Amino acid sequence: MERIPEALAEFFEHRATVRKYTDEAPGSELIDSILKAAMRAPTTGNMQLYSVIETRDAEMRRKLAALHFNQPAAAGAPLMLTFCADYYRFTRWCEVSDADAGYDNFLSLTSAMLDAVILAQQFVTLAELSGLGTCYLGTCLYNAPEIAELLRLPRLTVPVVCISVGYPAESPEATERLGVEGVLYRETYPELSDSEVVDIYKAKDDFAPNARFVAENGKRNLAQVFTDVRYPRAMNESTSVKLLDFLKAQGFMK
């Protein structure tokens, strides 16, 4: 039976997000070499519609961490990398080359966002294989306007995801994941029965830390923790308005 290499299977089976780091920041040479390798990842039309802002300065890290709500993975990280969807640079190249750049639209935004996310994940995998710890800061889009202002991002550039990077000061256990059978469908998307949906999410419902979240928040189940506490409707809707306004200001939405 064909399988992925055992060493890689072992690595991904036990990989975990690291939120606590030593005070030592990874050197620029190491980060540059990882990013150079990561940039071999696929990209839309080979246009490489991304930029990465490296934040090492203590005061800049403090300001950036505040925009990520001072979560520990941000406040305690010696290095943060903000991966941006970037059509500014490519559009400028078109302009100086007397080419008509028609990339101030939603399709172009999604292409650049895909490029940025693919690069970010390639970087994360290579960084972790190199002995570093990383954490995705999912709050990047919540305060995109403020982050863009802090990092002086130009028009047609949007911060998509920030990743904290450092040498691990902890060895966290891997979290639960859905089974492959819950996400891989053959040929078409099936109509899922109530019981099938419950079975798919059983791994999350039965995971001990999740059960603690439910109890601590006084909810009846894990789904209610997501809908009522972590990502409630009102927050999603207000943040969406803020983000759409920012995307318009950056030139992507008309």
pLDDT value at 54 more than 70: yes
Instruction: Assign 1 a pLDDT band (cuts: 50, 70, 90).
Output: low
Instruction: Assign 253 a pLDDT band (cuts: 50, 70, 90).
Output: confident
Beta bridge partners of 165: 79, 134
pLDDT for the residue numbered 2: 83
Instruction: Assign 3 a pLDDT band (cuts: 50, 70, 90).
Output: confident
The answer to whether the beta carbons of residues 165 and 131 sit under 8 Å apart is no
pLDDT digits (tens, 9 = 90+) for 111-158: 999 999 999 999 999 999 999 999 999 899 999 999 999 999 999 999
Round to the nearest angstrom and report the end-to-end CA distance of the chain. Answer: 52
pLDDT value at 59 more than 90: yes
pLDDT for the residue numbered 254: 78
pLDDT digits (tens, 9 = 90+) for 67-82: 999 999 999 999 999 9
Q: How far is CA 12 from the centre of its chain?
A: 17
The pTM (predicted TM-score) of the whole model is 0.95
Which of 60, 61, 59 shows the shortest CA–CA distance to 78?
Answer: 61
The H or E element containing residue 29 is helix 28-38
Mean pLDDT along residues 25-43:
98
pLDDT digits (tens, 9 = 90+) for 197-247: 999 999 999 999 999 999 999 999 999 999 999 999 999 999 999 999 999
Measure the CA–CA gap between 57 and 121, rounded to whole angstroms. Answer: 24
Q: What percent of the chain has pLDDT over 90?
A: 93
pLDDT for the residue numbered 64: 98
Reported CATH class of domain 16-173: alpha beta
Mean pLDDT along residues 12-34:
96
pLDDT value at 39 more than 70: yes
